[in-house]
Chain A
Amino acid sequence: MHTIHVSRVPLITWMLSLFKPVLCMKKICIIGIGNPLRRDDGIGIVLLEKLVEQKKTLPKEIQYLDGGTGGMNLLHILPQFDIVIIIDAVQFNAAPGSYRFFTADEITTNKNINSISTHTNQLPQVIEISRQLEELPKQLFIFGIQPKNTSYGRNLSNALKKNIKTLLSSLQNEIETIIEKNK
Chain B
Amino acid sequence: MSNDFSIHVEHLTRVEGHGNIEVNVKNGKIEKLQWSVIEAPRFFEAMLRGQQYNELRPITSRICGICSIGHSLASLKATEDALNVKITEQTALLRRLAINGENMQSHILHIGYLAAPDLFGVGSVLPLIASKHKDTVLKIVKLHRLANEMSDIICGRTVHPIRLIVGGFSAIPTKKQLLDLRKRLDESKAITNDLAQVIHSVVDKLPNFIRETEYISLSADDEYAFYDGVINSTDTGKFKDYKNYQTITNEYFVPQSTAKYAKHNRKSYMVGALARFNLNSSQLHSNAKNIAKLFKLKSINYNPFMNTIAQLIEFMHNTEDSISIIDKILDRGLKEEKQIKTKIKASRGVGLVEVPRGLLIHDYTINSKGYCTKANCVIPTNQNHANIQLDMEKIVPEIIDKPPKEIEFTLEMLVRAYDPCISCSTHYLDVKFI
- Whether A66 is near chain B, meaning CB under 8 Å from some CB there, is yes
Identify which of B41, B47, B141 contacts A37 (C-beta below 8 A): B47
> Considering the complex, which residues of chain B in the window 17-71 have a beta carbon less than 8 Å from any beta carbon of chain A?
17, 40-44, 47, 59, 62-66, 68
Contact check, A35 vs B158: say whether CB atoms are below 8 A apart: no
Binary interface encoding of chain A residues 121-135 relative to chain B, with 1 for a CB under 8 A from any of its CBs, else 0? 000010011001100
Complex interface: chain B residues within 8 A of A71 (CB):
65-66
- Whether A73 is near chain B, meaning CB under 8 Å from some CB there, is yes
A59 to chain B, nearest CB (A): 23
Contact check, B40 vs A151: say whether CB atoms are below 8 A apart: yes
- Whether A67 is near chain B, meaning CB under 8 Å from some CB there, is yes
**How distant is the Cα of A59 from the Cα of B4 in the complex, in angstroms?**
66
- Whether B113 is near chain A, meaning CB under 8 Å from some CB there, is yes
- Whether B434 is near chain A, meaning CB under 8 Å from some CB there, is no
Contact check, A2 vs B125: say whether CB atoms are below 8 A apart: no
Complex interface: chain B residues within 8 A of A72 (CB):
109, 113, 144
- Whether B228 is near chain A, meaning CB under 8 Å from some CB there, is no
- Whether B320 is near chain A, meaning CB under 8 Å from some CB there, is no
Contact check, A73 vs B62: say whether CB atoms are below 8 A apart: no
Q: Known contacts A132-B130, A151-B40, A152-B42; is A69 also within 8 Å of B148 by CB? A: no
Q: Known contacts A37-B59, A152-B40, A152-B43; is A73 also within 8 Å of B125 by CB? A: no
Complex interface: chain A residues within 8 A of B113 (CB):
72
- Whether A161 is near chain B, meaning CB under 8 Å from some CB there, is no
Contact check, B159 vs A37: say whether CB atoms are below 8 A apart: no
Complex interface: chain B residues within 8 A of A132 (CB):
126, 129-130
**How distant is the Cα of A35 from the Cα of B17 in the complex, in angstroms?**
14
Interface locus among B86-94, B149-157, B181-189, B268-276: B149-157
Identify which of A70, A128, A133 contacts B159 (C-beta below 8 A): A70
A133 to chain B, nearest CB (A): 7
**How distant is the Cα of A129 from the Cα of B117 in the complex, in angstroms?**
14
- Whether B411 is near chain A, meaning CB under 8 Å from some CB there, is no
Contact check, A73 vs B148: say whether CB atoms are below 8 A apart: yes
Contact check, B42 vs A73: say whether CB atoms are below 8 A apart: no
Q: How large is the interface on B (under 10, 10 to 19, 20 to 34, 35 or more residues)?
A: 35 or more
Contact check, A76 vs B144: say whether CB atoms are below 8 A apart: yes
Contact check, B64 vs A69: say whether CB atoms are below 8 A apart: yes
Closest-by-CB residue of A relative to B113 is A72
A37 to chain B, nearest CB (A): 5
Contact check, A75 vs B141: say whether CB atoms are below 8 A apart: yes
- Whether B243 is near chain A, meaning CB under 8 Å from some CB there, is no
**How distant is the Cα of A70 from the Cα of B137 in the complex, in angstroms?**
20
Complex interface: chain B residues within 8 A of A68 (CB):
62, 65, 68, 159-160
Contact check, A70 vs B65: say whether CB atoms are below 8 A apart: yes
A93 to chain B, nearest CB (A): 20
**How distant is the Cα of A151 from the Cα of B41 in the complex, in angstroms?**
9
B146 to chain A, nearest CB (A): 9
B151 to chain A, nearest CB (A): 9
Complex interface: chain A residues within 8 A of B105 (CB):
73
Contact check, B159 vs A67: say whether CB atoms are below 8 A apart: yes
- Whether A1 is near chain B, meaning CB under 8 Å from some CB there, is yes
A127 to chain B, nearest CB (A): 11
Taking A71-B66, A76-B148, A152-B42 as given, write out 15 further A-B residue pairs in contact, using a Cβ cutoff of 8 Å, ordered by the A residue number.
A1-B152, A2-B156, A35-B62, A66-B160, A68-B65, A69-B160, A70-B65, A70-B160, A72-B144, A75-B141, A76-B149, A125-B124, A128-B126, A132-B129, A133-B129
Can you list 10 pairs linking A and B with CB atoms under 8 Å apart? A2-B156, A37-B44, A37-B59, A69-B159, A70-B159, A133-B137, A152-B41, A152-B43, A152-B47, A153-B43
Q: Which residues of B contact A (CB under 8 A)?
A: 16-17, 40-44, 47, 59, 62-66, 68, 105, 109, 113, 124-126, 129-130, 137-138, 141, 144-145, 148-149, 152, 156-160, 162, 423
4 smallest beta-carbon distances between A and B, as pairs: A69-B65, A70-B159, A2-B157, A68-B160
